[in-house]
Structure 1
Amino acid sequence: MKGIKIFSPATVANLACGFDVIGLALDFPKDEIFLYKSNNPGIRIHRIHRSSSLPNDPMKNSAFVALQSLLKKYKQRQKFDEKEKIGFEIELIKNILPGSGIGSSAASAAGVVYGANILLGNPFSAIQLIRFAMEGERIASGTAHADNVAPAIMGGVTLIRSYKPLDITKLHTPNKLWVSIIHPQIEVKTSDAREILKQKILMTDAIRQWGNVGALVAGLYREDYELISRSLEDVIVEPIRAMLIPSFYELQVRCKEIGALGGGISGSGPSVFMLSKGNYTAKKVTEVMNRVYSPLQVDYKTYTSPINSQGIKWTQIL
C-alpha cells in the first residue's frame, strides 16, 4: 500500500470532572488526511486546506512532530539501513478548526501516526501510537496530554489511569449518549488556559472531584443517565476557565432546562459541550445553544454528534 485516506475525529477532553484523564471521540466533525509512503527520506506537508492559522514551521506542526517521533522509533526498531529510503507526504483538510477546543491538533497528530502505522505494516500498538501523537500535542499546547489523542485512536470514551507508565482503558459507552457542541469563534490558547490554573487545590475539592470521576465511570457502565448527569461537575478547573467563555453559565442552565444531562468546557475551550440521552434531546440542546449565542456579537459554530465508538477510520487510495 502506497497511500491512505484517513478520517480523524474531533474529541472532547476532560468531560467536566476528568481533567487530563477522560475524553471521548465525536462522529462529526472529522479531519481528512491523505498520507503517502515515499522513497524520499523525511516528512513533507504538501498542503493544509481550510486553515491559514497553522504554523508554516513543520517543527511547530503537531502532525509533523508526531510522525517524526514514529519514524524515529521505527528506524531504531527495524535496525534501519540508512541506505534504504523511507518518508511520508501529508495533505491535511482541516474540518476541525484550530483553537476550537475539540482536538484539532490531536486529530492531525493521531491521524498521521495511525495511517503511517498501517502503511508500515502495523508494527506499533495503540498505546505506542498514542505516545507518538502525544509528542504532537506537546508542540501544540506545551503539555503531552493524551485525553484527546487516546479517544481519537481508540474510539469511544477513554480513561487514562496513569501517564507514567502510560495506562489507558476504553470505557463502555451507552449507545443513546449524544453530544451537542458550541464553538464560539474566540481564541483561547491551551497554553494560556493552563497557566491560569491553580497549582494547589483544597482537599475537599479534590475529594469531590474524585467522587465525580468514579461515579461517571460507573454511570457509563450501568447506563445510568441520572448518575452520569450528577457526575458532570467540575469544581477545580471550570470555575477558573469559565470566565474566558461568553455566557458559559447561561448555556449550562438553559441546556439542562431543556433536557441536557450536563456538560462543561471542552478541553481548554472555548467550545462548550453538553451530553444528552438520545438524538432528539441533543438537537433541542443545540437549538438552545444557538438561541443563547445569536444575540451576542460573537461568531460561532454548533455540532450535534453521537459518540464515535471506532475512532479513526481509513480507506486505501493507492
Structure 2
Amino acid sequence: MKMKTEKLTVFAPATIANLSCGFDVLGLALDGIGDILHLELTPEPGVSITRVTGADIPLETDRNVAGIAGMAFLEAATGYSGGVRIEIEKRIAPGSGIGSSAASSAGTVWGLNQLLGEPFGLPDLVGFAMKGEALASGAAHADNVAPALYGGITLVRSSHPLDIARVHCPEALHACILHPQIELKTSDARKVLRTSIPLSKGIRQWGNVGGLVTGLFTEDFGLISRSLEDCIIEPVRSLLIPGFDTLREAALAAGALGFGISGSGPSVYALTHGADTAEAVSRALGKAYDAIDIPYTLHHGPVNRRGIYSINPNT
C-alpha cells in the first residue's frame, strides 16, 4: 500500500440531516462549521486518540466515534499493518444536532484514506463512518456522514446495501442554523419516535421527498419551499425544543424557504434563496430567541460542496 504522507490535518463539516421530510435519507453539508482532526500514521497497530479539545469526550478507542470508525477502516485496509494517532479539535458541540459524531467519524476515515493512498471509494468510507454513528446514536445511519464525505446534498436510497446519490444543489441555496445551548442526545430523540405511521401521512411525506429532490434538480425554489414539510417526525421532536414554533414563524416571516429541526435537534435550520435572505432570517431567529432567555449560537452561509478536505494546520 503506497502512502502519500504520514501526517494530515482535515476539516470535517457540520451537517443538517433529514431536511425535514427526508428522515434518515437526506443530508446537507454546512460551510464554515466543522471539526479539525490531526492524523499521524504510527508503526504500532490500532487507533490512538491522544487529545480532544473543545468537548469532554472519551479518549478510549472503543468509546470514541473516531476510534470506532478508524478501527473499521484499518481492519479493512489490507497491506497496512500500522495504526494512526489522532488529535481532535471539537468545534461542533456533541448533542447539537448538526452532525458532531458524524464529523469526527467521517473526518477520521477520510483522512486515513488520504494518508494511505486512497485505497477506498466514498461509499466504503461512508460504511466505515457509520460504525461510529452506531456508537453515538444506537443506529448506523448515513444521513450525516454521507454529506460530510460527498459534500453538498446527498440521498441515502438504501442503507442495506448502501446506495448513496448526490442531489443537485442550487448555487443560491443557503442555510441558517440556530443552536440552543442545550444538549439533546440522538439516542434520546429517537426514543420518542413512533414505529408505525398512518398510510396517509406516509403518502404525504413521500410526496414531499420527491418534490424536494425534484425542486433541487430543477432549481424550482417554490417547489423546494412547498416540500420542506415534515408531517411525521417534527410534530413529536419539536416538543423537545424550547420556542420551536416561535422560531418557525420568525424564519418564514423573514423569507425562509422552509424551517425545521436539524437532525435530532436541538439545533433548528432554515433554507433560503440567496445570501441576503439568509442574513435576514438569521437576524430574525436571533431576535426571536433573545426573548426566550436560552443562550444560543447562530450561523448562516452557503452549502459546503467540497465535503471534507485537508487544510494547513497553521491557518
Structures share fold, TM-score greater than 0.5 = yes
2:61 is equivalent to residue 58 of structure 1: yes
- 2:52 and 2:59 in contact (8 A); partners too: no
- 2:70 and 2:108 in contact (8 A); partners too: yes
Unaligned runs of 5+ in 1: none
C-alpha displacement of 1:211: 0.1
CA distance in 2, matches of 1:163, 1:225: 29
CA shift in 2, pair 1:68/1:186, >3 Å: same
2:222 is equivalent to residue 226 of structure 1: yes
> TM-score normalised to the size of structure 2?
0.96
* Counterpart selection for 1:41 from 40, 45, 56: 45
- 1:3 and 1:316 in contact (8 A); partners too: no
- 1:15 and 1:22 in contact (8 A); partners too: yes
* Counterpart selection for 2:30 from 15, 26, 30: 26
The code of the aligned residue for 2:135 comes to I
Write the deviation string for residues 228-286 of structure 1: whole angstroms up to 9, x where unpaired: 00000000000000000011011111111110001200000000000001111001111
C-alpha displacement of 1:55: 2.6
CA distance in 2, matches of 1:194, 1:56: 26
- 2:251 and 2:259 in contact (8 A); partners too: no
Query: Residue 15 of structure 2 aligns with which residue?
Result: 11
CA shift in 2, pair 1:73/1:316, >3 Å: farther
Query: Residue 268 of structure 1 aligns with which residue?
Result: 264
Listed as ranges, the matches of 1:75-154 within 5 Å are: 75=78, 78=79, 85-154=81-150
C-alpha displacement of 1:186: 1.0
Query: Residue 162 of structure 1 aligns with which residue?
Result: 158
2:177 is equivalent to residue 181 of structure 1: yes
RMSD across aligned positions (CA): 1.1
2:68 is equivalent to residue 72 of structure 1: no
The code of the aligned residue for 2:254 comes to I
Could you tell which deviates more after superposition, 56-65 or 245-254? Answer: 56-65
C-alpha displacement of 1:105: 0.4
CA distance in 2, matches of 1:165, 1:228: 28
CA distance in 1, matches of 2:128, 2:300: 30
Say which SS state the counterpart of residue 203 (structure 2) adopts. Answer: helix
C-alpha displacement of 1:60: 1.7
Say which SS state the counterpart of residue 16 (structure 1) adopts. Answer: coil
Write the deviation string for residues 94-127 of structure 1: whole angstroms up to 9, x where unpaired: 1111111000100000001001001111110100
The code of the aligned residue for 2:22 comes to G
2:287 is equivalent to residue 306 of structure 1: no
CA distance in 1, matches of 2:73, 2:262: 28
C-alpha displacement of 1:200: 0.7
Say which SS state the counterpart of residue 24 (structure 1) adopts. Answer: strand
Write the deviation string for residues 197-227 of structure 1: whole angstroms up to 9, x where unpaired: 0011000000000000000000001101110
Query: Residue 188 of structure 2 aligns with which residue?
Result: 192
CA shift in 2, pair 1:133/1:152, >3 Å: same
Runs of 4+ off more than 2 Å: 55-58
> TM-score normalised to the size of structure 1?
0.95
The percentage of aligned residue pairs carrying the same residue is: 50
Say which SS state the counterpart of residue 77 (structure 2) adopts. Answer: helix
2:250 is equivalent to residue 247 of structure 1: no
* Count of residues in Structure 1 that have an aligned counterpart in Structure 2: 309
- 1:60 and 1:140 in contact (8 A); partners too: no
2:252 is equivalent to residue 256 of structure 1: yes
Say which SS state the counterpart of residue 256 (structure 1) adopts. Answer: helix
- 1:9 and 1:107 in contact (8 A); partners too: yes
The code of the aligned residue for 2:30 comes to L
Unaligned runs of 5+ in 2: none
